[in-house]
Each structure stands twice: as C-alpha cells, then as structure tokens.
Amino acid sequence: MEASRWNKKWLNAVFFCVLFMCTATVTQASSEITFTCQAPYYLGKARDTVAPGERIQALFSIESRSTQDKAADIRISLPPGFLPEEEYENWQVGWQGEQYYLYRQIKLAGGYSQWFDLIAVQAAASLKEGTYNLTVTVDDTVLQVPVNIAVEEGAVTDAPVELEDIVLPLDREGKMDDRLNRNTLVLRDRSWDYYKNLLRGKGASNQEVEAIHPLTHLGLDIKNTARQQRLVLATIQLLDANTQQPVTGLFTPGTTSEDHEAGSMGGHEDRLVALIALNGDMRQRIQLPVYADEQLVSGGGRYLLQVELKDKETPLLVKTIPITIIKKDMKAAAVVGIAVVILAAASIFALRRLRQVLKIMKTRWLVTIALFGAAAFAVVNVPATLLNDFFHILLGPFGFMVTGLFHGVFLYMMIVALVMLIPYPGVVALMTIIRMLLGMLAFGQLSPIGLLSYGTHAFMLEVLLIGSGMYGRIQAGHAVQHVSFRQIIQLALICGIADSAATYINLQGMAFLYRMYYADWYIALILLMNGFVYTAIGAACGTLLGSRLSKVGGD
C-alpha cells in the first residue's frame, strides 16, 4: 500500500510536469509574434466615436520575439463604407466582394523586432450610426477592431483646417505676458553678455550656444472641424511692413551642440521652422518658442509676422499679422553715462567751491535752508512714499497724476520760495542734500536711481538759475520787493525745463538699471504733466510765496 501511494504521487508529479511543459511550449509558440491595431488613433485626447465622413487613423504595431527571422503577411480588411486613401507608400490596395483591403508583407529580424505604421482610411459620409469592424489578419491570426460611428452635434465634415489667430507674446505656461502689448517682441540685448560672463566667473563661453533661449512664445489657434490628424510643417518669418519681403530676425536653433553647425545659427538663419501635429481636436492651440537675434534685425518698429503651415509639398495655410519689434538700443546707457560723468565733474567742482559758498552764507541762512529741506521732506517725501502704492492701486499707471502734485507743485513752490529768500548759488543744492539725507535715514532711499534723481534735479536747477542770471536779478529786486509777471514766467520756465530734463534722465536710468521700459506716449505724458505743468505751477506759486516771506522776514 505504501509503495503504491508513492508510485501514484510520482506519476501525478510527472504528469503535471509534462502538462506544464506542453502548455508553455504552446504559449511560447503563439506569443512569438504579437500585434495590435488601434482605431481610431488620436494624438490628443482619446475619442470613443468618429463621425461619418471623417478621416480615421489606425495605428498598427507588431512585435516578434523569435530567435529567427520571420516574414509576416498583413491584411487589413475594411468594412463596407470605409474607403482607402488615394495612395499609400508601402501598402497595396485590393478589392474583394464589397469591401477594400490593404495588404503588405514585412520581415522581422530575429531576437527582438518591432514594426509599426500609421494608416489612414476614410469613413463615407453616408455611413449610418453603428459599430463597424476592421478585420486585421497576420498570417493565420485574426483580430477584429471595432469602430463606432456616431453623428456628433455640430460636427462638420470635409471642412478645411483654419488658422484662426496668432497670439503672442506668451510665457512658458501659455499665459499672456501682461508686461507687453499684444503682438510685441522685445529683443534681448546680448552685446554685454561676454563681459557679464567674465565678471560672473563663467569665462569666455560660446555666445551662440547661450543665445539658444526662447525670446517668448506664440500660440497658433487652429480650428479643425473635420478632426483631421496630420503632421504639419510650420514656417514663421518676418516680412517688411512696406515691401512685404522676407527679412532676417528669427532663426531656428541647431539640433545638438556637437554639430559643426550648432549654436544660434545652426538651423535656419532667416526663419523659424517647427514640425507640429494636429491631434484631431476641433480647436487646438499649438505653442511654439520664438528665437530671435537682435543682431539680425536691422531696427525696431513695425513688421509683419507670417505663419505658413504646409502639408507635404502643398501649402495648407498662410496667415500674416502686424507686429511691433522693440529693439533695445544704447540710448538709455548713453544718457545715464553722460549724466553720471557730468554729475561727478559737478560734484568735484562743488566740493572745491564749498568753502567759498559757506563763507557767503549767514548762519541764519543756513538754518533757513535746513528748515526748508526738512519741510520739503515732510511735505513731499513722506506723503509720496506712503501713498504711492495706494494711488497706484486706484489709478494704475496714471497714479503719477496725484503723486506729481507733491513732487511738482509742493516741492518747487518751496524751492522757489527759498530762492526768493536767499538768492545765492548753492542754495538749491544744499536744500536738496538735506532732503536726500532725511529720506535715506527715514525710508532707506539709498539707491543709484535716488542719487541720480537728486543730483540731476539740483544740478539742472543750479545751472539754469546761474546761467540765466536769475540769482542776480532776484538780489537786485530785493530792494524794491516787487515781483513782476515776467519774473514769474522766467522762473516757471527755468524750473519746468530743469525738472523735465531731470525726469527724462531718471526714466532712462530706470530703463538702464532696472529694465523698466515705458511707451513713448507715457514718457511724453510724464514729462508734460510732472516735468513741466506741475513744476511751472509750483514755481509760480513759490515766486509769490517767496516775495511775501521776504517782505515779512526782511534781509
């Protein structure tokens, strides 16, 4: 009994091993070649149904894990109502019964081999709703691929692809760049990159390689009502606004940095070329990076941006929009550089004449200058600093219309009143120094722009007051203590011109040091209102106030 039990156990074990080996062999033999077919195949979001008359993409894939080379016969039978393309590169089209079929033979290498192809077929517009099967046969293995046909609401077949809009500038996330107007390109200034890299310790790096950074992004809004899927070649180039001839400016970067043509000029030097995919969505936005080189653009201004979409060799779509190119020039750097040199020379000259100026000043005059400087700080700097953000929230970029009252009317009313009281060179500079020092101590207003702003205001006023002889005429008028209308106009013009020049230098300093660029009309408005109108009003009021104070205070 015990021997028979052991014999039965051994027989069962041998039987299960033989059965397992046979099953594995069958599975291995059947799994040497596997294939799939996905229809409809979409590059974007998957869809469960297609509409009658729609172009359908089918992705066929086959794998071979055999150790030997294999040859496979592939046949795809189309159901009635499905039509093949007019021409295929590698497939043969046949007709059997009432339906078309596609046929080809492929060779699969031994070891591991994979082969796939994207096949397009056309669903007839007369198809009714329902499920149709594509019959895929590889050698003796048959696979049924169901395709659901349904009429979609609002779907229009055989409609051409439309390029509805070109949107720029966009950031990397596809959002509009609020810092710039629409259809505007601001070119980078790379003229100082070499020296910046040396100062930062990068060394003398390849400037062309560093130039391969997108300037901005643009979006192509495509309307694809027929839900076509295809690869499209997009060509983007600049055109002259007058002649509509292509001009240089955009470029396509090279593929790799190892190529001898690598760098910013490695691809196409006169246009931007990209391969894009229509994924079958009815509406699709394709975002592309924009590469531009300021050295290739002859100058800023108005241009035309032309986008051409090509399918194979046939032009598909062409759309042109006007754009504005802003090319950073050296104007801001030149203005700031000249102003710094002049201020440095004026400061050296003023330090050498400081002792002579202080000898002329009486002690009570110096006290009066200090009081006016402190009063100007309290009336101008404090409210303007504390309320600047508040007015900016309420009025946006036009907040200067309110804060300009402090910097224009109130400030120059006190400056001119002090000049009427103490008409001697250096008065304006000393008052400005007091106001600047108090601003630094109270609000930490110590910056290159602050020094440039205070210095240019004081320098321009002193130069114009001395050059026009206004100090001498005011001293002579103290005897009669009478202010003429001509004198009011002269002081208003002097202060308006001085403040306009100082404000312009300040704006150029903001552009050069902090990359804060303003539109030309905005700069003109600031110079007109803040620089001249408010200042002239404050100077006229200060002339009358200073005359009254001189009568009260005497010498």
Q: What is the full DSSP assignment across 412-430?
A: HHHHHHHHHHS-STTHHHH
Look at residue 12 in the predicted model and tell me its pLDDT. Answer: 45
CA 195 vs. chain centroid, Å, equals 25
- With b meaning 16 or more CB within 10 Å and e meaning fewer, what string describes 28-57? eeeeebebebebbbbeeeebeebbbbbbbb
Closest CA to 108 of 74, 70, 61: 70
Look at residue 374 in the predicted model and tell me its pLDDT. Answer: 92
Helix (H, G, I), strand (E, B) or coil at 489: helix
| 144 strand-pairing partners | 135
Closest CA to 411 of 287, 295, 312, 539: 539
At 107, the amino acid letter reads K
From CA 384, how far away is CA 146, in angstroms rounded?
73
Burial class (CB in 10 A: 0-12, 13-18, 19+), 321: middle
User: In the chain, helix, strand, coil percent, each to 5?
Assistant: 45, 25, 30
- What sign has the CA pseudo-torsion 389, 395, 396, 401? negative
Query: Sheet containing 113-123: which strands, arranged edge to edge?
Result: 33-38, 55-64, 113-123, 82-84
From CA 314, how far away is CA 316, in angstroms rounded?
6
Q: How many CB atoms lie within 10 A of CB 154?
A: 6
Tokens of 430: 């000393």
Look at residue 17 in the predicted model and tell me its pLDDT. Answer: 38
CB 56 within 8 A of CB 227: no
Burial class (CB in 10 A: 0-12, 13-18, 19+), 401: middle
Q: To which residue do tokens 């040091």 refer?
A: 513
Phi and psi angles of residue 155, each rounded to the nearest 5 degrees, phi first: -80, 135
Tokens of 297: 């653009």
Look at residue 10 in the predicted model and tell me its pLDDT. Answer: 42
From CA 217, how far away is CA 153, in angstroms rounded?
34
Contacts of 60 (CB under 8 A, 6+ apart): 35, 36, 37, 74, 76, 116, 117, 118, 119, 136
Contacts of 319 (CB under 8 A, 6+ apart): 163, 166, 306, 307
- Per run of 10 residues, the mean pLDDT along the chain (length 555 residues) is 43 37 30 83 71 83 86 89 84 87 88 86 86 88 88 60 89 80 79 61 54 83 80 89 87 58 53 84 88 75 89 77 80 86 90 85 89 90 81 79 84 91 90 90 81 90 90 73 82 92 89 75 88 91 86 60
Tokens of 76: 């795809």
Q: To which residue do tokens 């195949």 refer?
A: 41
Q: How many CB atoms lie within 10 A of CB 240?
A: 13
DSSP string, 43-62: SSS--SEE-TT-EEEEEEEE
CB 505 within 8 A of CB 335: yes
CB 79 within 8 A of CB 134: yes
* pTM > 0.75: yes or no: no
Look at residue 299 in the predicted model and tell me its pLDDT. Answer: 67
Helices (H) and strands (E) in the chain, counts: 14, 19
From CA 301, how far away is CA 305, in angstroms rounded?
13
Look at residue 202 in the predicted model and tell me its pLDDT. Answer: 57
Look at residue 18 in the predicted model and tell me its pLDDT. Answer: 33
